[in-house]
Amino acid sequence: MSGLELQLRLLWRRNAGLWSLFTLLAALLVVYAWLHPGLLSIAGVARFTQTWFPVALVALAQTLIMLAGGIDLSIGAMVSLGCVLAATLVGETATAAGLGIAAVVAIGATIGATTGAIVALLRLPAIIVTLAGSFLIAGAALLVMPRPGGSMPDWLSDALAGDRPTALAMLILLLIAWRVLQATPLGHAINAAGDNPQGAFRSGVDVPLARIATYALSGALASFAGVYVAAQTGAGDPVIGMPLTLDSITAAVLGGVGFLGGQGTLRGAIAGSLLLVILINVMFFLGFPPVAQYVAKGLIIVAAMAVRLLRAG
């Protein structure tokens, strides 16, 4: 077997479990397009991916951490913080905007790395550390901006969340970046760390480092989701990310990432988030009131866990 063949086969193998999810998605997309024919245009795709993009980002962020055997309950708060920081830091000119976005993402990565270090090095339960982290980060967001305000440059909002499918392009770019990461020892260590942490550690894999890296990456992704939300709404909002924590978990579970780590793919997470978004959109078109989505989301996660349990026998 040549190296290229091995690489391609591994790629194929990782997707093998996802065909049923992909099929379900395709079917739902058809239903959605039938209910809402406007979807089938560039602007339609652009608008649709805009509602999906933040959910996809947080699903990626959650999946990364779950792959290495953790969980993050501070993702929603991180989105809020990213959002208010963006509305404060991002300047009018292109350079200022670029610097501002970079600063926001760097802050997110740093906070994530700190969380990761607490979890991995002090060996404290991730679920409670990140719960505390969510209060701290949400508090910081409220300090930056006690009530919605600030502004984003119009041209940036237009570029990111206008009539062009920028979000879709960024999503594809992210997937490619993940593929590249997977081909590095760090990417491999992330998978091994969630799959059999003790075995990986004994084989010489730096498990704590892999864990910290996932939290840092996840922090960066979540804060960028905040930047995007700010661009979408044109302003900052200190509590806008709140519902995204549960969304990220739901999407990750739907995409097949186990709570015990190791299984699943980022593609699965993106598919899971897409499934979630379409379901809610379809519900909307079928005449359900908007709040019914809360009920649906809660039920979906419980059902997904039940199915998982049944499958495990």
Partner 1 sequence: MTPPVLATREVGKRFYDNVVLRGVGIEIRPGRVHALLGENGAGKSTLINLLSGVLQPDAGAILVDGQERRGLTPAEARRLGIAVVQQELSLAPHLSVAENIALGAMPRRGGFIDYGQLAHGAGQLCARLGLDVPLDLPVERLPLGQRQLIEIAKALWRRPRVLILDEPTSSLSAHEVRTLFGLVRALRATGVAVLYISHRLNEVLELCDWVTVLKDGVVTADQSLEGSDPKALVRLMVGREAGDLFPPRGTGGEGKLALAAHGLVGESLRGLDLELRYGEVLGLGGLLGQGQEETLRALYGDLPLRGGEIRVDGRTRRAASPGRSADAGIAYVPADRKREALLLPLPIRYNLVLPALRRLATHGLRRRVREAITAASLIREFAIKANDPRDAAQLLSGGNQQKIAIARWLPLSPRVLLLNDPTRGVDVETKREIYARLRRMADDGAAVLLLSSDTLELVHLCDRVAVQRDGRIVAELDRGRLSEEAIVRASLGMAA
Partner 2 sequence: MATALRTHSVGRVLLHRVTLTYLIVALLWVVAGVLKPGFASAGHLRYLLELAAVMGIVAAGQTLVIIAAGIDLSVASVITFSAMMLPLLSPAGDPSGLAGVAATLLLTTAVGTLNGLGIVLLRVHPLILTLATATILQGALILIAGGSAISVNNPAVVFLGNGKLLGWPMTIVTWLVLGSLVTALLHATVLGAWLFAIGTNDRASRLAGVAVGPALVAAYAISGFCAGLGGLLLLGMNRQGYVGIGEPYLLGSIAAVVLGGTSILGGRGSYLGTVAGAVLLVTITALITVVNASAGWRSILFGALILGLLLLSGRDRESR
Q: Contact residues for partner 1 (CB under 8 A)?
A: 1-7, 9-10, 12-13, 180, 183-185, 188, 191-192, 195-196, 198-200, 202-205, 262-263
Instruction: Decide: residue 27, CB within 10 A, 0-12 exposed, 13-18 middle, 19+ buried.
Output: exposed
Q: What is the DSSP letter of 38?
A: G
Residue 242 contacts partner 2 per CB under 8 A: no
Q: Count interface residues toward partner 2 (CB under 8 A).
A: 44
Look at residue 9 and give the partner it binds from partner 1, partner 2, none, a contact being a CB closer than 5 to 8 Å depending on partner kind. Answer: partner 1
Read off the amino acid at residue 84.
V
What does the alpha-carbon distance between residue 160 and residue 140 come to, in Å, rounded to a whole number?
26
Look at residue 203 and give the partner it binds from partner 2, partner 1, none, a contact being a CB closer than 5 to 8 Å depending on partner kind. Answer: partner 1
Look at residue 132 and give the partner it binds from partner 1, partner 2, none, a contact being a CB closer than 5 to 8 Å depending on partner kind. Answer: partner 2
Nearer to partner 2 (CB atom), residue 129 or residue 156: 129
HEC profile for 56-115? HHHHHHHHHHHHCCCCCCCHHHHHHHHHHHHHHHCCCCHHHHHHHHHHHHHHHHHHHHHH
In this structure, are residues 156 and 97 in contact, taking their beta carbons and an 8 Å threshold? yes
Q: How many CB atoms lie within 10 A of CB 85?
A: 27
Query: Contact region for partner 2 (CB under 8 A) — 7-15, 35-43, 87-95, 141-149?
Result: 141-149
Output the smallest distance, CB 263 to partner 1, in A: 6
Residue 313: helix, strand or coil by DSSP? coil
In whole angstroms, how large is the CA radius of gyration of the chain?
Answer: 19
Output the smallest distance, CB 18 to partner 2, in A: 22
Among 49, 63, 134, 232, binds partner 2 (CB under 8 A): 134
The 277-296 site mask, x for binding partner 2 (CB under 8 A), equals: ------------x-xxxxxx
Residue 38 contacts partner 2 per CB under 8 A: no
